[in-house]
Structure 1
Amino acid sequence: MRRLAERLIAPFAVDRRVLALAGARMADGIGNSFLIIVIPLYVTSDVVGGTAFGLGESMIIGVILSLFGFLNSSVQPFTGRFSDRLGRRKPFILIGLAGLAMTNLAYVFAETYLSLLAIRGLQGVSVAFIVPSSVALVNELATRGDRGGNMGVYNTFRLVGFGAGPAVAGAVVSRGPYALPGGVTVGGFEAAFYIATIAATTSYLLVTVLVSDPESTAANAGADLSIPIRDRSGPNLLDPIFTLGVASLFMATAIALFATIQPQVNARLEQGATWFGLQFAAFIISQVALQTPIGRACDRYGRRPFIVAGMVLLIPTTLAQGYLLSSALMFVARLFQGVAAAMVFAPSLALAGDLAGEGESGSKLSILTMAFGYGIALGPLSSGALVGYGFEVPFVFGTGLAVLGAILVYTQVEETLETTASVPVVGDD
């Protein structure tokens, strides 16, 4: 059994604990992304009622989904710093996964808008325990020579889970109810919530059995956990980790503009929902295909070239979406926007991990994960507010952010790998 496990792990060339954690994040990603599709359907069903606070169904859906992102991102710096103080990562991940499993199950009993709002809010807090601790653990299990590859593998698995959930969630709901042995009948919504619960529980078990904290984490607990804005020791004006956080915010906002303007996109391109689904998925396809190879490449050739190139590529791929009139070309633009994001994300985490001192990973890396989460929440709000001024306006706005991000990275971030030849790469003799 051990030899079989080693053969399965070998192609990824990462610590088995990193792969186990990546698999756990894939499982909970499937369950959590299920809800992105299921919650809007649930809100508009006959099951949910009660006071709507004077808001329409579409606004209620937006509030419920956005609350998750804002709470998740806002709490991450606190959970990341707390895990640094205690010198423990695994307990935080398990607390988050347990909370996620329980709240997924709670949806079965939710029958009011207020209860859905409370459950989704608690889920945001639960995931805030998982994200910074998981990324910090991957960082601490890696070395400077393979950190990019480890981050790439972790993100690849996570994105596979996130992309797989929505692909089947609608079908699970629409094909219900389901007849189970013993004469038990389960509705489509209940089945979806049960699947999400099982996914989170599976993640909990994987982490419990296969993941452990490295001894160095506890030994270095309580280091300086401040997050400077100014560069204290380098030649630049801004701290490089803070700069990467700002760039991640701008990047995430630009890539999330597309998500909530489906009616306008379909009307402009004279296309149906199938084309929009393909265009939306194109971004994730690029991410899944490229996260690991780009992560490994940045271990060999340096972090900064990939980050700068990715931010520069983000500029035309974002702007083009505001002016294209072809469904196929929009798919291509989204595909290359995914390439841009893949060039930024794993190398940025690796560079920040290089700069984080012992016992600081949770605090430092949470800046990037928090910023990315805020961007994913702000993007849809921005496009919804700006699209009324013209279809191209949201994408021009996103392009401006990409330009600022590229300038910041180019001028304020230095390379952390000394030379290509001096850095050992996993798999080299």
Structure 2
Amino acid sequence: MRTRFGVDPQVITLALARMSESVGNSFLIVVLPLFIASDFVTGNTFGLTEVFVTGFVLSIFGFVNSPLQPFTGRLSDRTGRRKVLVLFGLVLIAAASFSYSLATTYWHLLGLRVLQGIAGAFIIPTTVALVNDLADEGNRGGNMGTYNTFRLIGFGVGPIAAGGVVAAGPYSLSLGATTLSMTGFDAAFYFAASTATLAFLLVLGLIRDPDVEPDDSDESVIEGIAVFDRTGTNLLDPVFALGVVSFFMAVGIALFATLGSIVNARLDQGPEMFGLQFAAFILAQILLQAPIGRATDYYGRKAFILVGTVLLVPTTLAQGLIPGVVLFEGVVSESWLMFIARFLQGVAGAMVFAPALALAGDVASEGQSGSTLSVLTMAFGFGVAVGPLLSGILITWGFVVPFAFGALLAAIGIVLVVTQVEEVNTPRRPVPFVGYVT
């Protein structure tokens, strides 16, 4: 059964579950720094600054879940049971989110963040593999785009609401003669746990494992990640090449995240404007992932990946050149120029990630979706974790340097897409300039 847009109803349900879980998980991006800065958390930092501890607690999620994703993806292939792994991950997410309300030291937070990273490793590759299993070559792009759209809506909504939930506390709830009270932080953590619980119920009640034969090969996880093209056609395996491009894209996107105070001072703006600029990328993704994914079902995947990678170069570099762009001087403020640059970078990202997942899904053999697609999700996760650390180092050489480095990575990505990535299925309406025969 398919909807009128060619999206499997189970993919819609899975997307809603990920949206719910993402709302709660992204809550923590705003809540945890506030919690660490509060009097509720104490302990020895071993000489590290509070800012460093905050950054480490937030980034450890990506560094834990990314290297584990190929293993959980492979496990889902070998067992043929993806649903139970997703449910297990959601239980861990809910338990960790609730347990933040009991945390009193920095190391409690670090341990819970590690637990959430492990949970993410069970959820991320297995849900993407489920989407791939439920789709086929004629609608895989639309299904991937729709799934990513809902997930990003959740990721975007969470931080917007989180600060308000904390600020509105403490809360009191009267139950007859008993009054329950909780801090704003407790309310935020309970809410995050409830969104994961809702996601658990959606998956438990409405998602089933597709009829896909388990992969019973003896190939290890490391052997399953092919770096070089085994057919001899190109130098690199196409999925590995797409993973590298996804990593480069994620690094370029995430460079902006840790530069809030510097950007605000440079553009003479407040934190609210920085929040809008940060969200501009997500807004573009929400608007364009589904239609672009659907378009790749007709025009092919490579055309969009190539155009998106090309667009990443100027949109990333432009962020490092503002102010100093005189083309729109007197017409658009420098702050809004940054917003536009971030939005266009989001357009580029939308043209790369969902089509890359769809193309990797086209390449994946039956029963190997988890292993194959985990290469891309792992690469993207590493990029998101590495980007902020790189920008913090490179900014010491000048404001433009991190963004110039991100643009250089995107330029290398263009070469990889042109030379190492090929269309697997013949597009219904091929785009002539891409050159499908490489």
Q: Could you tell me the TM-score, scaled by structure 1's length?
A: 0.94
Deviations 1:253-277 (A, max 9, x none): 0010001001111111111111111
Which secondary structure does the structure 1 equivalent of 2:108 belong to? helix
> Pairwise mapping of residues 147-296 of structure 1 onto structure 2 (< 5 A)?
147-182=140-175, 183-218=179-214, 220-222=215-217, 226-296=224-294
CA distance in 2, matches of 1:221, 1:352: 21
- Find out whether 1:379 has 2:387 as its counterpart: yes
Offset of residue 54 of structure 1: 1.6
CA distance in 1, matches of 2:218, 2:166: 48
- What code does the residue aligned with 1:157 have? F
**Is the 1:223–1:359 contact (alpha carbons within 8 Å) kept by the matching residues of 2?**
no
- Find out whether 1:21 has 2:1 as its counterpart: no
- What code does the residue aligned with 1:290 have? L
**Is the 1:287–1:339 contact (alpha carbons within 8 Å) kept by the matching residues of 2?**
yes
> Pairwise mapping of residues 125-164 of structure 1 onto structure 2 (< 5 A)?
125-164=118-157
- Find out whether 1:90 has 2:83 as its counterpart: yes
Partner residue of 2:38? Answer: 45
- Find out whether 1:78 has 2:105 as its counterpart: no
Which secondary structure does the structure 2 equivalent of 1:232 belong to? coil
CA distance in 2, matches of 1:77, 1:68: 16
**Is the 2:6–2:139 contact (alpha carbons within 8 Å) kept by the matching residues of 1?**
no
Deviations 1:38-78 (A, max 9, x none): 00000010000111122111010011111111001011111
- What code does the residue aligned with 1:128 have? A
**Is the 1:222–1:359 contact (alpha carbons within 8 Å) kept by the matching residues of 2?**
no
CA distance in 1, matches of 2:160, 2:28: 12
- What code does the residue aligned with 2:300 have? G
Query: How many pairs were matched up?
Result: 414
- What code does the residue aligned with 2:117 have? G
Which secondary structure does the structure 2 equivalent of 1:359 belong to? coil
- Find out whether 1:62 has 2:51 as its counterpart: no
CA distance in 2, matches of 1:133, 1:379: 25
Offset of residue 421 of structure 1: 5.5
Partner residue of 2:436? Answer: none
- What code does the residue aligned with 2:18 have? R
Once the two structures are aligned, what percentage of the paired residues are identical? 57
Gaps of 5+ in 1: 1-5, 423-429
CA distance in 2, matches of 1:73, 1:419: 32
**Is the 1:103–1:123 contact (alpha carbons within 8 Å) kept by the matching residues of 2?**
yes
**Is the 1:223–1:358 contact (alpha carbons within 8 Å) kept by the matching residues of 2?**
no
Offset of residue 11 of structure 1: 5.5
Partner residue of 1:361? Answer: 369
Partner residue of 1:427? Answer: none
Which secondary structure does the structure 2 equivalent of 1:216 belong to? coil
- Find out whether 1:331 has 2:329 as its counterpart: no
- What code does the residue aligned with 1:364 have? T
**Is the 1:87–1:222 contact (alpha carbons within 8 Å) kept by the matching residues of 2?**
no
- What code does the residue aligned with 1:85 have? R
Offset of residue 216 of structure 1: 1.6
Partner residue of 1:3? Answer: none
Which secondary structure does the structure 1 equivalent of 2:399 belong to? coil
CA distance in 1, matches of 2:105, 2:129: 37
Which secondary structure does the structure 1 equivalent of 2:282 belong to? helix
CA distance in 1, matches of 2:295, 2:79: 33
Q: Could you tell me the TM-score, scaled by structure 2's length?
A: 0.92
Partner residue of 1:388? Answer: 396
Which secondary structure does the structure 1 equivalent of 2:181 belong to? strand
CA distance in 1, matches of 2:68, 2:259: 28
Offset of residue 215 of structure 1: 1.2
Partner residue of 1:425? Answer: none
Task: Name the CA shift for 1:11/1:31 in 2 (closer, same or farther; >3 Å).
Answer: farther
CA distance in 2, matches of 1:231, 1:368: 16
Offset of residue 16 of structure 1: 1.3
Residue 413 (structure 1) aligned to one of 409, 416, 421: 421
